[in-house]
Chain A
Amino acid sequence: MLVVAEHEQLPVTQARAGESAAWDTLFRRYQLPLYAYVFELVRDEQASLDVVQETFVAAVRHIASLRDDSRFGSWLFGIAHQKCIQLWRRQDREAAAREELAEVPAGFEDDPSARLLREEQEAEFMRLVNQLPMPQRSVLLLHFVEDFSLEEIARITGVQLGTVKSRMHYAKRALRRLLEEQTP
């Protein structure tokens, strides 16, 4: 089952007070989902580890900017997302993907995340996800990895809610089409 991060009891208050044990708990909870998300965006192990490290450092230094403790997860993913964008800018890659981030289409469909995957489909599924354009892949990964709501994904990626909805719609449609093409 998906874990809804916002309903968990996390020691954010203690982390604000500078308790290292609380930070340890928070980082343990998010390190793998965060890395998975970043890796699927940047496709480079070392760069992904760097982004996770920078995200952790930024979180410790700027925890005061978090207004609502229950949104720690989306706040942390938002930092990671911004770090990814900074990385792309630095490397001056994927210019087309960055242009797509500004597009605002509309529409939203049913949720295919409930689809369960068989062992042999896993690798194929990930290959298909990686075929999606970057903005669509980003919202789909955030939806899959932490079950973030559309509003939270909009906050994380820093775009309008309508944009997120449309990207999710196109991402799911494209994924479904790819899956149908692969299925004999």
Chain B
Amino acid sequence: MKTPREVLLRRHRTAEPKLDRIREEVLAAELGCSAPSTRERKSQNENLIRAMALQLWHELVWPCRRAWTGMGVLWLMMLAINLGLSGHRPAGLESSSAPASDSWGVLQEQRRLLAELIPPAPGQPSEPPRRNHLQPRSERRIADKAC
């Protein structure tokens, strides 16, 4: 079942290629272009992106513009302070950038001095226990006599 409109349009579908050609000719003659070119489509896409960006600006940024401005100022201040601090480093901090090998040497020296200065703990044996201490007393005597 079809409406009169559908009937009418279907009757003339065969004329569409001719109508397409006429349309292109008119566009070429009157507007100096055959059909929407790739460049025009690209420009339409760019316009669309621009419109979306503008919409985002209007919906997200512009209503809270004071908050965004305040945060921006804060960020700028923090950046300025950070840059100011890095420009005037104290002398003590500069020594920290000495070569790693020097630091390692100093550390080794400090360990050696500590080992010399601090005596070993009193409970700790200065020498390893001798093996014959583990022998029974009777065996120890026999061994002494043999020597």
Contacts and interface: CB of A to CB of B under 8 A. Distances in A.
26 contacts: A1-B3, A18-B31, A19-B40, A20-B32, A21-B41, A24-B27, A27-B26, A32-B9, A32-B15, A32-B19, A33-B9, A35-B12, A40-B8, A48-B15, A52-B19, A53-B25, A56-B22, A57-B26, A60-B26, A117-B3, A117-B4, A117-B7, A119-B2, A144-B3, A144-B4, A145-B8
A20 to B, nearest CB: 4
A126 B8 contact: yes
Contacts of A44: none
A32 B23 contact: no
Contacts of A45: 15
B21 to A, nearest CB: 9
A24 B118 CA distance: 96
B36 interface: yes
A133 B3 CA distance: 22
Interface of A: 1-3, 18-21, 23-24, 27-28, 31-33, 35-36, 39-40, 45, 48-49, 52-53, 56-57, 60-61, 113-119, 122, 125-126, 141, 144-147
Contacts of A117: 1-4, 7
A45 B1 CA distance: 27
Main secondary structure on chain B at its contact with chain A?
Answer: helix
A45 B7 CA distance: 18
A138 B18 CA distance: 23
B66 interface: no
A40 B11 CA distance: 10
A73 B118 CA distance: 104
A20 B33 contact: yes
Given A31-B16, A113-B5, 20 more contacts: A18-B31, A20-B35, A23-B31, A24-B36, A27-B27, A31-B19, A32-B9, A32-B15, A35-B12, A35-B15, A53-B25, A56-B23, A60-B31, A115-B4, A116-B2, A117-B4, A122-B2, A126-B7, A144-B5, A147-B5
B127 to A, nearest CB: 100
B13 interface: yes
A124 B133 CA distance: 130
8 closest residue pairs by CB, A with B: A21-B36, A116-B1, A144-B4, A56-B26, A31-B19, A60-B30, A20-B31, A27-B23
Contacts of A119: 2
